[in-house]
Each structure stands twice: as structure tokens, then as C-alpha cells.
Amino acid sequence: MFAYQKAQVSFKKLEEIGHEGKNSKVYRAHDQNLDAEIVIKEIEIKHGFSSKDYFEEAQALYKSTHPNIVQVCYACEDDKKVYVASPFYRNGSLKKRMAHKSLTVREIIRYSTHFLNGLHNVHSKGLIHFDIKPDNVLISDRNEALLADFGQSKPMDRNGLAKQPMLYGKQFPPEYFGNAQYIFDNRFDIYQAGLTMYRMCVGDKEFDRQFSKYKTWPELGGDVRAGSFPDRKAYPLHIPKKLKTVINKCLKPNPGERYGSPVEIVNGLADIDGSILDWEYILDKNKRIWRQEVEGTIKMIEVCEKRTSKAYKHRVDSAIRRVKEFCLTDIEDKKIVEFLEK
């Protein structure tokens, strides 16, 4: 029998790119042996714990090998810390992508399908992720969404349940509040996946605006359990009814009324089509702007706070032409939708 051996790794921290709780930091780093940029998650070993307690995330990542899951390069330790290395993705997270521009419906469906495929693999391996959010979905160089950060994940028991008391963040499902046992099933992840898709639709500024009005956790919990947070009426007008229906089913306060698996959500997303998939939505001071460019034709409608509208349609290489039918002094939402679907 061979004994376990210890070997040396050598990396240089380049910059801190994330903070994950009190005991861990995330760095962009350069691995000397691989001559490659990587991401290093550095976890401080707390008094009374052994390094084995902190390798669970790396083990979960390794078990969940899948094209839509961030892979672990290696995991190692020194006297005080554990280090988990993964590839560095220059495009950053879904949250970063959302901060730069609003996502089209086509992009929302694409990225959601990707990370949900990864989540299905996680569940099939008997794990619950427990921390699905835009920060933990990375965008690869091939423009594919990858599920990341398994620091909160836990294995399910034979009944499909897992205990996870160490939760934090904005994406608690209704069953978290008032649950003294902290025992959940995979529909915890289904809710968080739905909330991630919701944030992709409305944008993080709108989501943070809604969240900021709550001063206490009981106040937030009351509205989450009642189904009034997040606001199901806040979707922009270009979000199709079918997509809203899929997301709202994920967000059902009663876990039994949600989808039972990520595959069911993907099947629901696959049924969404139409001319409304490519609109970019822009909030510009006191104006809402929808802009679409498809096969060399640009369409745009601007609606100011007082509901005065200007609409345009033209070829990329031709002069801008107004669409008089939609240039109104008091445009109604159904008229805006008519333009978007035309």
C-alpha cells in the first residue's frame, strides 16, 4: 500500500476579487507551476476545527463534474488555512454582467438553462447547493453560465433532506423563516434559481430597491412567506408571460407548488419563443428605453416619466424613421407591448 504524500504548490496573489463571510477571501492569482491565472479561495481554519472540515466544498465540486459547473483545479492546506483553486473566468459573474447591461430575454433563457443544467447534476449527486445567486453564476469565455461556490452545499439524506443552519444573504426562501430545524429539500434551490432569474429580468437596481425597504428580518420574512416579496408585478413590459409564469412557479411560497427539479424549469424555458426575445431594456434617468437590433433592422421606443413616447424603426445603414402610430403623449402599457411584439 502506498502512503499519502504531501507536495508543494506555489501561487502568487494578484488581487482580491471577493469576500465570502468572515473566514474566507477570494483572490485572482498566478500559479507558478501551471503558469496560469487561477482563482484561489483562502479559508481560515477556526480554532477547534481541522482542515478536513473545510475540504467539503472542494469535494462537492469534484463530485459534481459537469460542463456547467466550475471545476476545482486542486485543494491544499498549510498550518492556518485551506486553499481551493479553480479556473479564472475573465467575464466574471452573472451579477457583474447584469451591472453592465440589462439582459435580453434570449440571454436570460440561455444563462438560466446553463446553470440549471449544472444544478440538475448537483441534485443528481445527492447535494443541495443552498447558495444560488447571480454572484455564484460565472460566465465562461464561451459565454456559458457555470454554477460556482459550493461552500454552503450539503449532502441529502435518504429522504432527500439536508440540514444547513449557516445561511445568509438576500435569497432566503419562505421555508427558511420560522424553521428552527434548518432542514430543507432541493426545492430550496428551486426557489433561489427562480429568484436569480427574477433578478435577471428586473435588474439588480430594482431588486435592491425592493429589498432596501425592509429594516428587520421578521419584516422581510413576513412578505417572503406571503409571496409579496419579490414584487411579481415589477417585471418590465418586454418579459413574456410564459417566462413570468415559469419564474413565479419557482417562487411559490408553498414548496409543494414549485417545480420538482431543474429539468422541469428548463423544459418550461424551452417553450418560450417569439419576436420579443431580443429587446434590450434601458433605464435612463426619467426614461424607459427598449432597443432591438435584428438582421440589420433597429427598433426603439422611448417612454418618459409622463408617458410621452417616441418610436423609431430603421435599417442600420439608413436614416432614422419615426413610427407615428406609437409616438403618443400618453401611451398605455398595452400600446408599448404592441410595439414590442410587432
- Alpha-carbon 67 to chain mean position: 17
Q: Contact, 340 vs 276, CB < 8 A?
A: yes
Q: Contact, 278 vs 290, CB < 8 A?
A: no
For 9-19, how does the pLDDT look when each residue is reduced to its tens digit (9 = 90+)?
899 999 998 76
Range 288-308 average pLDDT: 94
Range 42-50 average pLDDT: 77
Using DSSP's 3-state secondary structure scheme, residue 279 falls into coil
- Alpha-carbon 3 to chain mean position: 42
For 91-147, how does the pLDDT look when each residue is reduced to its tens digit (9 = 90+)?
999 999 999 889 999 999 999 999 999 999 999 999 999 999 999 999 999 999 999
What does the pLDDT read at residue 19?
A: 63
Confidence of residue 48 (pLDDT cuts 50, 70, 90): low
Name 102's Cβ contacts closer than 8 Å, sequence gap at least 6.
Answer: 203, 280, 281, 282, 283
Q: What is each CA distance from 90 to 38, 94, 249, in whole angstroms?
A: 10, 12, 33
Higher pLDDT, 166 or 328: 328
Given a cut of 90, is residue 332 above it in pLDDT?
A: yes
Given a cut of 90, is residue 43 above it in pLDDT?
A: no
Range 195-208 average pLDDT: 96
Confidence of residue 21 (pLDDT cuts 50, 70, 90): low
Using DSSP's 3-state secondary structure scheme, residue 37 falls into strand
Confidence of residue 274 (pLDDT cuts 50, 70, 90): confident
What does the pLDDT read at residue 45?
A: 82
Q: What is each CA distance from 78 to 52, 72, 93, 103, 179, in whole angstroms?
A: 12, 18, 29, 42, 37
What does the pLDDT read at residue 270?
A: 96
Q: At what angle do helices 262-270 and 105-124 cross, to 10 degrees?
A: 150
Given a cut of 60, is residue 227 above it in pLDDT?
A: yes
Q: Contact, 25 vs 18, CB < 8 A?
A: yes
Q: What is each CA distance from 137 to 6, 106, 176, 241, 340, in whole angstroms?
A: 32, 17, 22, 25, 29
The per-residue pLDDT of the chain, averaged, comes to: 91
Given a cut of 90, is residue 62 above it in pLDDT?
A: no
What does the pLDDT read at residue 64?
A: 75
Burial of 87 (0-12, 13-18, 19+ CB in 10 A): middle
- C-alpha 35/C-alpha 167 separation (Å) is 36
Domain range list for the chain: 11-87, 94-270, 280-341
Higher pLDDT, 274 or 241: 241
CATH for the stretch 11-87: 3.30.200.20
Q: Contact, 68 vs 118, CB < 8 A?
A: yes
Q: Among 45-49, 200-204, 288-292, 296-300, where is mean pLDDT lowest?
A: 45-49
What's the one-letter identity of residue 144?
A: E
Residue 27: enclosing H or E segment and its boundaries?
strand 24-31
Given a cut of 90, is residue 325 above it in pLDDT?
A: yes
For 164-185, how does the pLDDT look when each residue is reduced to its tens digit (9 = 90+)?
887 877 899 999 998 888 999 9
Burial of 136 (0-12, 13-18, 19+ CB in 10 A): buried
Select from 12, 17, 18 the least CA-distant residue to 31: 12
What does the pLDDT read at residue 20?
A: 58
Given a cut of 60, is residue 326 above it in pLDDT?
A: yes
Q: Contact, 152 vs 54, CB < 8 A?
A: no
Confidence of residue 22 (pLDDT cuts 50, 70, 90): low
CATH for the stretch 94-270: 1.10.510.10
